[in-house]
Amino acid sequence: MEFLSDIASLINSTLRISTPLVFAAMAGIFAERSGVIDFSLEGKMLMAAFVAAVGSYYLGNPWLGLLLAIIVCVCLSMLHGFASVTHKGDQVVSCVAINILIIGLTTALAAAWFGQAGLTPTLNEDQRFLEIHLPFADALRDIPVIGTLYSDILSGHYVFVYLAYLSVPLVFWIVFKTSFGLRLRAVGENPSAVDTAGINVFTMRYKALAINGVLIAFAGAHLSTAVNANFFREMSAGRGYLALAAMIFGKWHPKTALIACLLFGFTDALQIRLQGVELPAIGEIPVQLIQALPYILTVVLLAGFVGKAIAPNAIGQPYIKER
């Protein structure tokens, strides 16, 4: 019984920890399927976290904070588009610039507005998202297996967790079952083919980036207005990069990217559990090593196990129509 509840809580935290990764990976899929590299997931997630926390604090409603975060992230995506799609700048450089800008900007703005470098005030219960307890969760808890599944794994999450996992089939449907998706994939593979089909390549890429901005805002809001009750410095902690790795690991496909996100989430959940635990025969593993586990896994998986990840053919290349 003890074992079962351990497993349940491990799965529960895997789902929670994977949430921002899933949003970011889905955001990445839109940008990269359209042929635009998005290294700036990290920066945008951080910015979303900051804006959501500040917005909720001043407006008193976490949904308004989220809305604000969406607006700001879409603007950042448009900035990336302006530099790399319209002006055909180097996409990686544009992303790095955005990431650096945001690390500095969030810290500085927090200092200017709240007097503490990189820290926003703690949000009260009205200003943040709370865990959602599904109906009858308590009543059903004692039913073996199903009760655990329902009450301890499915119930008791923040709204973002549910939204994240709902977004995956939605993204799959958009990318593979709609004409928008067909054009999106085509523009990342062969933009000339799209242009000669009478579709504006630039508009398509901007649309993809706009969706990218919306999705990444959810990841940031989840961090600062749901699992935490404030923003702190560099709180995205590499999750944007991790999501990018998951997306590549998942070969730019929503389903496999989800699996990769869950795998990273799981190792993270596991490392939290393993801290300070004596393992038989091995003894206590140093905390630092355990904490590095998800990152080590990323490197190992990307380096060896995935095989060749075939990127969209035109990725990273600005579309130049006239010679």
The binding site for another protein (CB under 8 A) comprises 177-180, 182-183, 185-186, 189-190, 192-200, 313, 321-323
CB of residue 153 vs another protein: minimum separation in angstroms? Answer: 33
Of 195 and 234, the one with the shorter C-beta distance to another protein is 195
The helix/strand/coil state of 174 is: helix
Of 90 and 195, the one with the shorter C-beta distance to another protein is 195
CB of residue 158 vs another protein: minimum separation in angstroms? Answer: 31
CB of residue 190 vs another protein: minimum separation in angstroms? Answer: 5
What's the Cα-to-Cα distance from 270 to each of 25, 204, 289, 299, rounded to whole Å? 21, 40, 12, 18
Neighbours of 170 (CB within 10 A): 12
Nearest to 73 by CA among 108, 98, 110: 98
Of 282 and 323, the one with the shorter C-beta distance to another protein is 323
CB of residue 211 vs another protein: minimum separation in angstroms? Answer: 15
CB of residue 312 vs another protein: minimum separation in angstroms? Answer: 9
Residue 147 backbone class (left: φ over 0; alpha: ψ -120 to 50; beta: rest): alpha
Of 189 and 234, the one with the shorter C-beta distance to another protein is 189
CB of residue 199 vs another protein: minimum separation in angstroms? Answer: 5
Question: Tokens in use for 72?
Answer: 């700001």
CA atoms of 64 and 294, how far apart (whole Å): 33
CA atoms of 56 and 267, how far apart (whole Å): 31
Answer yes or no: are the C-beta atoms of 141 and 8 closer than 8 Å: no
CA dihedral 171, 66, 244, 184 (to 10 degrees): 40
CB of residue 195 vs another protein: minimum separation in angstroms? Answer: 7
Report the amino acid identity of residue 88. Answer: K
Of 35 and 240, the one with the shorter C-beta distance to another protein is 35
Nearest to 25 by CA among 258, 236, 226, 234: 258
What is the chain's Cα-based Rg?
A: 20
CB of residue 310 vs another protein: minimum separation in angstroms? Answer: 9
Of 286 and 323, the one with the shorter C-beta distance to another protein is 323
Report the amino acid identity of residue 215. Answer: L
Of 102 and 171, the one with the shorter C-beta distance to another protein is 171
Of 1 and 197, the one with the shorter C-beta distance to another protein is 197
Answer yes or no: are the C-beta atoms of 302 and 249 closer than 8 Å: yes
Answer yes or no: are the C-beta atoms of 223 and 51 closer than 8 Å: no
